[in-house]
Structures are given as C-alpha cells and as structure tokens.
Amino acid sequence: ELKVEQNPLFLSMQEGKNYTIYCNYSTTSDRLYWYRQDPGKSLESLFVLLSNGAVKQEGRLMASLDTKARLSTLHITAAVHDLSATYFCAVEGTSYDKVIFGPGTSLSVIP
C-alpha cells in the first residue's frame, strides 16, 4: 500500500533563510506532485516531477525527485512572507489511477 510522509509537518522560518521540506513514499512510483494550499483555499499545482533526477524550479522554490531513494525535496531559497502556506506532496500509484497525498507541511515565514 502506498504511503506518503512529509517532514517537517510544521516549519517556522525567518525571511531570507533557506530550508528544505522532505517527502518520502513507500512503494515504487515515477510521478510526484507538489501543491500549495493557502488557508481556506483550494490546492494550486506547483510542480510535476516525472523521472529520477528530475529538478524543477519556479522562483524561490526548487523541487527534485530521487525515485531510487523514494524521496522528493522542496527547497526554499531566501524565504519571503508570501511563501507562507501549506505544501503537499502527492504520489501517483503504478496503476495510474490513485494519487495519495502526504499530510502537508505548514510553512510560516516570519519577517
């Protein structure tokens, strides 16, 4: 059964600092998503990672995928307050039907 874990679950960081959020999953998959959710809002797609070694960057966020280690990272560079949100990773099962979500990482960037 596919399980997805994230750590940390809560992250408070100062503006200008760097940090990494980790996403581990339990069974083989070659497709991983990162989403952002603002309080009370729906989910916004950030990245789709399709293969081992994939790296995507958008602004201060960079995501990578290591399928052998079953690990994805979301790296935040020089954090700003606007990045405060909950970040979810989600992993697709090998039968291309279900997508299983991690518990989310609640990020708070403090001025």
Q: Provide, rounded to whole angstroms, the least separation between the CB of residue 16 and another protein.
A: 27
Give whichever of 9 and 78 is closer to another protein, judged by the CB atom.
9
Distances (CA, A) of 41 to 44, 46, 48, 64, 100: 9, 15, 20, 25, 19
Q: Which of 20, 77, 84, 106 binds another protein (CB under 8 A)?
A: 106
Helix (H, G, I), strand (E, B) or coil at 110: strand
Q: Distance from first CA to last CA of the chain, Å, rounded?
A: 41
Position 102 contacts another protein (CB under 8 A): yes
Q: How many CA atoms lie within 13 A of 76 on its CB side?
A: 25
Q: Interaction with another protein in 31-90: which residues (CB under 8 A)?
A: 31, 33, 41-45, 48, 50-51, 88, 90
Q: Which of 19, 62, 104, 108 binds another protein (CB under 8 A)?
A: 104
Position 3 contacts another protein (CB under 8 A): no
Contact between 3 and 26 under an 8 Å Cβ cutoff? The reply is: yes
Cα(24)–Cα(41) distance, rounded to whole angstroms? 25
Q: Provide, rounded to whole angstroms, the least separation between the CB of residue 41 and another protein.
A: 8
The contact set with another protein (CB under 8 A) reads 30-31, 33, 41-45, 48, 50-51, 88, 90, 92, 95-104, 106
